[in-house]
Amino acid sequence: MVERALQVAIIIGSNRNGRFAPAVGRWFTRLAEDHEGLRPEVIDLGNLDVPSVLGLPDACEPLSAATAVLDRADGFVVLTPEYNHSFPGTLKNFIDLHDSQWRAKPVGFVSYGGRAGGQRAVEHLRQVFAELHAMTIRETVSIHNPWGRFGADGHPDDPKASGAAKAMLDQLVWWGRALRDARAVRPYGT
User: What amino acid is encoded at 178 in this protein?
Assistant: A
Q: How far apart are CA 9 and CA 2, in angstroms?
A: 21
pTM for the complete prediction?
A: 0.94
For residue 55, what pLDDT is reported? 63
Q: pLDDT tens across 162-185, in order? A: 999 999 999 999 999 999 999 999
Contact 95, 28 (CB under 8 A): no
Q: Which residues pair with 143 in a beta bridge?
A: 112
Give the other-Cβ count within 10 Å of 148's Cβ: 8
Residue ranges of the alpha helices (H) in 43-159? 64-72, 89-96, 119-131
- How far CA 82 is from CA of 14, 21, 119, 125, 187, in Å, comes to 9, 11, 8, 11, 35
What does the alpha-carbon distance between residue 109 and residue 123 come to, in Å, rounded to a whole number? 10
pLDDT digits (tens, 9 = 90+) for 106-115: 999 999 999 9
Cβ proximity of 107 and 77 under 8 Å: yes
